[in-house]
Amino acid sequence: MSRHSQIRALFLEALAAPAAAREELLRRACGGDEELRAEVESLVESHQAEECFLDGGALGSQFRVSEALARSDELRVGPYLALALIGDGASSLVYRARDTRSGVEVALKLLRPGALSAQAIEDLLAEAELLRRLEHPAIARCLDAGRAQLHGAASAYLALELVRGTTLSVYVRSSEASTRHRLELLAAVARAVHHAHERGCAHNDLKPDNILVDGEGRPKVIDFGAARSLRSSGDAARPPGGTPRYSSPERRSGDAPFDAVASDVYSLGAIAWELLTAKTPDDERMLGEARPSAAVTLELRGELERVVRHALEHDPARRCPSAAFFADELERYLAGVAVLSPRPSAARRLAEFARANRVLVGGFAATLLALLAGVAGTSWALQRAREARDAEREQRELAEVRLEQAQAARERAVQGAQILGELFRRFSDRSRDGAEKVEAALVDAASALPPAVEGAEEVQLALHHSLGVALADFGRYELTVEQLERALALAGGEREEQLERRAILLLDIAAAQSLRGDQLASLARIDEAQRLADLHASISAPTRLRCAVARATALLERGRTEEVRALAAQIRAQHGYAPGPLSLALASIEGRLLTEEGRFQQAIEGMTPALAAARAQLGERHDVTLGLLNNLGSAWSQAEDFAPAEALLDAALEGRTKVLGERHPDTLQTVHNLASLRRRQGRLEEALELQARAARGRAEVLGPLHPRTLLSRNNYASQLQALGRFPEALVELRSLLASAELALPEQHWQRGLYRRNLAVLLHEMGEYDEARTNYRACLELWEAQFRPDDPRLSDVRHLLSLLP
């Protein structure tokens, strides 16, 4: 008998005996084996203690595998036997089910038990009622509906024609459907929608996910859960929810009079736009506002573009009048017949343009271009004046006058050049058309600038500098660096203001290189500026502070947090808490450090007054204010206090989008953080969408190998994993790891992170060997990097120990 069996027998015997007799019984049974006696006694003592958590279940009474399994044989609703879950909505579940009377398979829509209410039952039955009015080959038919008991509660069911197929978006992607086929599908869907309209029913939630395509490439409109009768009015006619990116502006705004038919037509237009441009419709704004022709792909141009835009008209009164008209137009286009959709009138286009580009229409573009030309021109004028002085000695007097004039012009030009960048920042509208125009002007100007002319270096330098800074605002970081480098090449001299300017130029270059993703080069430039500051006492305190803060930011970007911490302390010691943007920027960095260490409360306490100060001193739109909004929001988010997190991050996103544009790296950072927040809130689908937007944006703006892009891709993969989409997550993580190994230095800690995350996924997928290899690789890397007591190490070790 093993030791444990022996213990078991004695333990049971002792329990069975009256309490008073136990001690004696054990003494006798154990003979001299004191250890055994102590063991059993302590077990008996443990047994007698009060209730403990082991007595309940890990999930309380809420989950019992046995019950769950027992009932799995009997998901019967009315005459239907559920076979498999095929759809998973907020308030309902759709099963593939068999009609036990006929053996026919149907799509059975049931209310989620958690969403069960008397109203929900009535709504489901009303949906059946509406559907019964419809009979169209491209609408999934209602076969049966009724009330039923489900798990002991009154509920209802809806049996629909079972469509074996995929959703429209998946179909279009996977079958690489031709443009013609896409248009045919759209026309068929539009006909079905029109049929519903004729029978007095609006769908109210048309989107690619609610359109299935069957095995023969025919579309079926499904899910009339938001459908309403056109005869109902008032609140009863206004459907719930809806999917914003396919919803008409009047429906989204929620207050304009609502025409359900026109609104369905708009949704058809939005689906068409997506199908033809392959743009995922985060570009809500694009759909809603003046739609730039630059976004139109080859598939959507000319007459077809007119047709789709007609359906997407903002004003319902001007919109394509019916779904049938839309279908007719598509078919006319397919048949090569001229379409009827109007070309937007010149006045209307002008009005749209004016709305989008208020400032430019005011003549700003022209002014800027003139100013640019003028600045470039004065360089030549000055040079010519100098030449004239030399060549025409006999006309010395005249030449002096010219030279004076030219010098005065140069002064003005320098000033003009200096305010140029400021003007761009302040006035250029961020809507795409406007930005493109200004950007184009800048790029032209950059290429048109003459090479440096002797004596005109000042002008030339100021111009390159301003142009460079202005180009950075448009995300043209390559050109920015090029312009700034040219400015730097002209910035010689040992006078105080010349040294100062050189330091500033170096820091500007560093900022652009950092935004471009070239962290090493950026850091090198900052170090260069730092050396200037070390050598020359004349470099001003603000520039020194800027240099230190830039250095801290760059190091943070590189993940060298220890150095950042030391540097931040040093800056505080040197510069104190003097008010001003840089001090507040430093507070932001310190907040980020604390957040990273998980000291959320301290981070919040530090950044809250800094944000208030930034708002008061710098205004809502200042970079530093926006950065603080972002960082403070992120700290709240990680502290899992969602209300302030949401308010702050929303404000940060709005502000950054307005000031910096949608694609600016900082804007994308906020998108990224908002995605994290959504995920913590359990809003997984939204999180996935935001994460995809951040990852895509960063790949485009910063390049696919930038560390921040890699982070976004990592979180996107995590998001897929969280949604149970393992194969996709696996593909993403593998490619991420490959990118990281290409892009990051060998010792970069992020490499370890991606290995770890890949291992976690493999672990979950049961690929234990590969998981082990990756955990170990991560551990090896991190052990070389982190202090031995770093919790990241124990995390990986623990995960490794969980492997079978």
Partner 1 sequence: MSSPTPPNEHSELYAQIYEEIRAIARRSMAGERRSHTLQPTALAHEAFLALSRLREAGALERTHVVALASRAIRRILVNHATARLARRRGDGARREELDEQLSDELSAPSGADPLELVALNEALEELERVDARQAQLVELRFFGGLSHEDIARIQGVSARTVDADWALARAWLRRRIDGAKDPR
- Contacts of partner 1 in 723-742 (CB under 8 A): 724, 726
DSSP assignment string, 425-443: HHH---SHHHHHHHHHHHH
CB of 368 to partner 1, least distance (A): 36
Q: In terms of CB distance, is 50 or 394 closer to partner 1?
A: 50
The yes or no reply on residue 643 touching partner 1 (CB under 8 A) is: no
Query: Out of 1, 28, 32, 53, which residue is the one contacting partner 1 (CB under 8 A)?
Result: 53
Residues 370-409, one symbol each (x = binds partner 1 by CB under 8 A, - = not), give ----------------------------------------
Question: CA-CA distance, 783 to 770, in Å (whole number)?
Answer: 20
CB of 403 to partner 1, least distance (A): 56
Rounded Cα gap, residues 296 and 799, in angstroms:
48
The one among 20, 31, 32, 46 contacting partner 1 by CB under 8 A: 46
Interaction mask 743-762, partner 1, x per CB under 8 A: ----------x--xx--x--
Q: Judged by CB under 8 A, does residue 764 bind partner 1?
A: yes
Q: 349, 508, 552, 368: which is closest to 444 by C-alpha?
A: 368
Q: Which of residues 776-795 bind partner 1 (CB under 8 A)?
A: 791-792, 795
Smaller CB separation from partner 1, 459 or 694: 694
Whose Cβ is closer to partner 1: residue 427's or residue 726's? Answer: 726
CB–CB of 270/246 below 8 Å? yes
CB of 682 to partner 1, least distance (A): 4
Residue 382, CB-side half-sphere exposure with 13 Å CA sphere? 24
CB-based burial label for 775 (10 Å; 0-12, 13-18, 19+): buried
DSSP for residue 139: B
709-to-357, 499, 736 alpha-carbon distances in Å: 31, 36, 10
Other Cβ atoms less than 10 A from the Cβ of 17: the count is 15
Q: Which is nearer to partner 1, 392 or 562 (CB)?
A: 562
Residues 574-603 that bind partner 1 (CB under 8 A): 592, 595-600
Closer by beta carbon to partner 1, 55 or else 454: 55
How far apart are the C-alpha atoms of 435 and 473, rounded to whole Å? 10
Which residue in 22, 112, 252, 306 binds partner 1 (CB under 8 A)?
112
d(CA 660, CA 709): 18
User: Which of 8, 181, 615, 658 is close enough to bind partner 1 by CB under 8 A?
Assistant: 8
| Choices 315-323, 411-419, 471-479, 678-686 (CB under 8 A): range interacting with partner 1 | 678-686
Residues designated as active site? 205
Closest CB to partner 1 among residues 111, 158: 111
Query: Please, which residue, 35 or 444, has the CB nearer to partner 1?
Result: 35
Reading the block at residue 83, the tokens are 């076979």
Contact region with partner 1 (CB under 8 A), list: 256-264, 397-405, 431-439, 720-728: 720-728
Whether 711 and 672 have beta carbons less than 8 Å apart is answered as: yes
516 interacts with partner 1 by CB under 8 A: no
Q: Residue 279 Cβ, how far from partner 1 at the closest point, in Å?
A: 26
Please report whether residue 240 would count as binding partner 1 according to CB under 8 A.
no
Interaction residues for partner 1, span 349-368 (CB under 8 A):
none
Spatial separation of the C-alpha atoms in residues 115 and 138, rounded to whole Å: 29
Query: Coil, helix or strand for 85?
Result: strand
Short-list 199, 219, 201, CA closest to 210: 219
| Distance from chain centroid for Cα 722 | 16
Q: What 3-state DSSP class applies to 159? A: strand
Q: Sheet of 211-214: strands edge to edge?
A: 165-167, 211-214, 219-221
Q: Residue 795 CB, nearest distance to partner 1 (Å)?
A: 5
Backbone angles phi, psi at 124, to 5 degrees: -65, -40
Q: How far is the CB of 83 from partner 1 (least distance, A)?
A: 7
Can you read off the two tokens belonging to residue 458?
Answer: 């000042």
Count of residues touching partner 1 (by CB under 8 A): 93
